[in-house]
Structure 1
Amino acid sequence: MLHIALYQPEIPPNTGNIIRLCANTGAQLHLIHPLGFDMEVKALRRAGLDYHEWAQVIEHQNFDEFLSNTQFGAIHALTTKATDYHHQTTFRQGDCLLFGPETRGLPDEVLRSKVVNNIRIPMKPGSRSLNLSNTVAIVLYHALGELGFAGLE
């Protein structure tokens, strides 16, 4: 199983879409507080909360709690500040893909963590970033493909 971690997500429809993505791929979702919304927000429900019963969602009060309460093969942080690309990384079962908040990305203290491997998606020079739920889908499906889409048909 692969894990998706959203660090302080801000936009309910993105998180809802990612819940739906996790439900359909078997990835486990970790939400690292504080969240920029209430989990009962109508926009979140519309975008994917009706899939919540089929997705594994674990909430963590902060990044330190997330690190101390989980064990992953590796944590791959997606950031426009990275020099290595996602397709240059080897993914393994049990790895975690970590994504930052939509408006500001992951903070430097997270990116400098010894447990984090920083990677990026190729984009045109000068581009800011892709939509969070699109980014999660791109990297998750790449990692799943490397693992032979185990458990999916």
Structure 2
Amino acid sequence: MALFFDFLQFFDQITVEIPDKMEYNDTREIKGGPAVLNIVLVEPEIPQNTGNIARTCAATRSRLHLIKPLGFDISEKAVRRAGLDYWNMVDLQVYEGLDHFFEVNPAPDLWLATTKAPRDYTQAVFRDNCWLFFGKETAGLPEGFRRQYPDRCIRIPMRPDARSLNLANSVAVLTYEALRQLDFPGLSGEGEMAEKGRSQVL
């Protein structure tokens, strides 16, 4: 138990510095190569979800974009703990609202994840550097925003009487489907068992 609390204290010391204003540069690289996807959370409310999503972004070299208002302070312990020690691998950008986002990113290739969508995500064709939008946990994406892009709204199939999936899980599902379509660029598809298997054959 003592080791567990030492572990938590270690991650409580991690700080996340966010500039007041950020500009998006399409040519920037994340550690290991250029980013392939952009994950956009619109008004996220639960810090643990955002922390878990940050870890997914780090593992997949995807950029993470947060649109205010946020339901938490990005420096909260719960956010840092959920992201573990992956925060230094995350390209994080924060915007004052959707208007600010589109001022910085005027014409993104976007997809909107919503339970209200008329089609499932397997019908979408994801391209390099596309943007995946996810709404806040209690209400999803704003109705007016969805109506602007009806042909870009997609959903994850689920039983009719289920309201929705967890936000972090939804992000993981769509992120890996997009990466699968792009043939997982820059990501490793083999673990140490592959190396051992080859050495045994030799």
TM bin (shorter chain): over 0.9
Asked if residue 104 in structure 1 is aligned to residue 139 in structure 2, the reply is yes
Q: Which amino acid aligns with 2:100?
A: E
The one of 38, 42, 55 aligned to 2:77: 42
CA distance in 2, matches of 1:75, 1:20: 22
Mean Cα displacement is larger for which, 69-78 or 36-45?
A: 69-78
Q: TM-score, normalised by structure 2?
A: 0.73
Stretches of structure 1 lacking an aligned partner (at least 5 in a row): none
The one of 62, 75, 79 aligned to 1:27: 62
How has the CA–CA distance of structure 1 residues 65 and 115 changed in structure 2, closer, same or farther, with 3 Å as cutoff?
Answer: farther
Query: Where do 4+ consecutive residues of structure 1 move more than 4 Å?
Result: none
How has the CA–CA distance of structure 1 residues 79 and 112 changed in structure 2, closer, same or farther, with 3 Å as cutoff?
Answer: same
Asked if residue 9 in structure 1 is aligned to residue 44 in structure 2, the reply is yes
Q: Which amino acid aligns with 2:173?
A: I
8 Å Cα contact 1:84/1:119 also seen in 2: yes
Mean Cα displacement is larger for which, 54-63 or 112-121?
A: 112-121
8 Å Cα contact 1:72/1:95 also seen in 2: no
Asked if residue 85 in structure 1 is aligned to residue 128 in structure 2, the reply is no
Q: Which has the larger radius of gyration?
A: 2
Q: 1:116 offset after TM fit, Å?
A: 7.1
Stretches of structure 2 lacking an aligned partner (at least 5 in a row): 1-35, 189-202
Pairwise CA RMSD of aligned residues? Answer: 1.4
Mean Cα displacement is larger for which, 39-48 or 63-72?
A: 63-72
Partner residue, 2:100: 65
How has the CA–CA distance of structure 1 residues 29 and 115 changed in structure 2, closer, same or farther, with 3 Å as cutoff?
Answer: farther
8 Å Cα contact 1:33/1:59 also seen in 2: yes
8 Å Cα contact 1:72/1:96 also seen in 2: no
Mean Cα displacement is larger for which, 75-84 or 47-56?
A: 47-56
Q: 1:33 offset after TM fit, Å?
A: 0.4
Asked if residue 132 in structure 1 is aligned to residue 170 in structure 2, the reply is no
Q: TM-score, normalised by structure 1?
A: 0.95
CA distance in 1, matches of 2:107, 2:115: 23
Partner residue, 2:130: 95
CA distance in 2, matches of 1:9, 1:50: 21
> Higher RCO, 1 or 2 (CA under 8 Å, sep at least 6)?
1
CA distance in 2, matches of 1:139, 1:73: 17
8 Å Cα contact 1:73/1:93 also seen in 2: no
Q: 1:50 offset after TM fit, Å?
A: 2.9
CA distance in 2, matches of 1:89, 1:144: 12
Partner residue, 2:177: 142
Percent same amino acid at aligned positions?
48
CA distance in 1, matches of 2:151, 2:135: 13
